[in-house]
Amino acid sequence: MDIGGNSNPMGSNESDYDSDDDFFMQVVVAATMLCIRFVYREPSRRRHTSGWGRALRVNYYLERSPTVMYDKVRMSSDAFLRLSYILEERGLLQPTVHVNVDEQLFIFLTILCQNQTNREAQHTWQRSGSMVSEYFTKVLEAICTLKKEFIRHPDFQTVDPYIIASGNKYSLWFDDCVGALDGTHVPCVPPRETAELYKIGRGKFYLVDSGYANNGCFMAPYRGTTYHLQEYRTRRERGFHSERELFNYTHSSLRNVIERTFGVWKARFRILRTINHYPITKQVMIPVACAIIHNFIHMYRNGDSLLDQYSQDGVPVADIDLQNVDEDINDNTNHEGQPLKSNAELEMNALKDARAHTMWAVHCHRRAR
C-alpha cells in the first residue's frame, strides 16, 4: 500500500540533527578561537599620539629636555611657562577637555618657529586640520591682545635711548634719527583719527639703504662709496679716505642694529622667512605676534642664546649666520648725479652733506691729537 509523503521520517530527523550538530561545532570552534586570541593577545601599548601622550610629551620638553625645548619653540621652559600662565590667568586662552593651554601654545609656537604647514602639524600632534587651524587662530588672537604691553609707539620728540647710550659715536650726527627701515616697505593708509601717531616731526628721519631715495624723512647712504660693514672690516688698517666713507660707515653701523633685530626675528620665527598661505588678516597679525613674543623673551631673557648671538654691536648678520641673510639691494656701483626731483630731496641731501662734513672734521681733529 502506498502511504505517500516521506517514506522514512526517522532518517530525515537524523539528518537534521547531524546538520544542527555541525553548525553548533562551528560556532564553538569560532568562539574558542576568539577566546584564545583575546587571552593570548599582545598587551596593548599606549601610543604617544594619544591625548595622554601629547600632554606627557610637552611636559617632558618643559621639565627634562631644555635643549629640545629651545630647538622646538625657540624659548626657554621658564619663558614658555610664564607666557602660558599669562594667557590662561587672564582668560585669553582656556583649556579644553582634549587640549590644555600648554599644548595649544606649543602647537602655535612650533608652527611659527619651525614654519610647519597645517599638514605637518597634524602629523606631529595627531590632530585634525580643523583643530590645528582653530588653536593656531585662538593663540594668535590671544597673543595679539598683549600688543599694548609689549609694543609701544616711538616717541619722536626724544632721542633714541640706544643713540644716547652709544655716546659720541652717534649722538652728534643722528640725534634726529627716529629709527631705521630694512627690507621691503609696504605702503598703507592709517586711520584718519590716528594718523598723527604715524607722522614724524620736521627734521626727523629714518635711516634707509640705497634702495630708497633721500626725501623729507628718509636718509640714505652715499652711492658709489663703500657702505657694507664687511668691506670696512677688511680694510680697517687703511682708515677712511673721505667724509663720505666715514659717513657711510657710521650710517651702516647704526642701521646694523635694526638688521640684527630682524635677523634674530627670522632666526627665531622661520615663518617670517618664506611666503605663507594664510588669509591676509592672519598674515598681518603674525609679525605682530612675533614682535610681542620677541619683546616678551627679551624681558625674561635668562641667557637666551639667540639674543646673545645677535646682540654683537657692529657685527653684520652675514658674520653671525650666513643662512639668515637677505639679498642686499645696496648697489655701491651706482654713482650720485641723478637729477633731484623735489625740495625734500634737496633738503635731505644738504642735511646729509652737512653731517658728513662735520663728522669728518671731528674725525680728523681726533686723529691729529
- In whole angstroms, how far apart are CA 63 and each of 60, 124, 259, 365? 5, 20, 34, 58
Phi first, then psi, for residue 129 (nearest 5°) are: -60, -40
Which of these, 296, 325, 300, lies nearest to 310 by C-alpha position? 325
Section 172-187 average pLDDT:
74
pLDDT band at 137 (very low <50, low <70, confident <90, very high): very high
Helices and strands per DSSP (H, E), number in the chain: 16, 3
Its pTM stands at 0.69
Q: Which triple of cell numbers denotes residue 64?
A: 627634562
Dist CA 213 CA 3 (whole Å): 121
pLDDT band at 1 (very low <50, low <70, confident <90, very high): very low
Beta strand residue intervals within the chain, DSSP E: 177-180, 205-207, 218-219
Which position has the grid cell 631644555?
Answer: 66
Query: For the chain, which residues make up each domain, given as ranges?
Result: 51-145, 161-367
Give pLDDT tens digits for 253-275.
888 887 788 888 888 998 988 87
**Cβ–Cβ under 8 Å, residues 318 and 175:** no
Q: How many CB atoms lie within 10 A of CB 231?
A: 15
**Cβ–Cβ under 8 Å, residues 92 and 139:** no
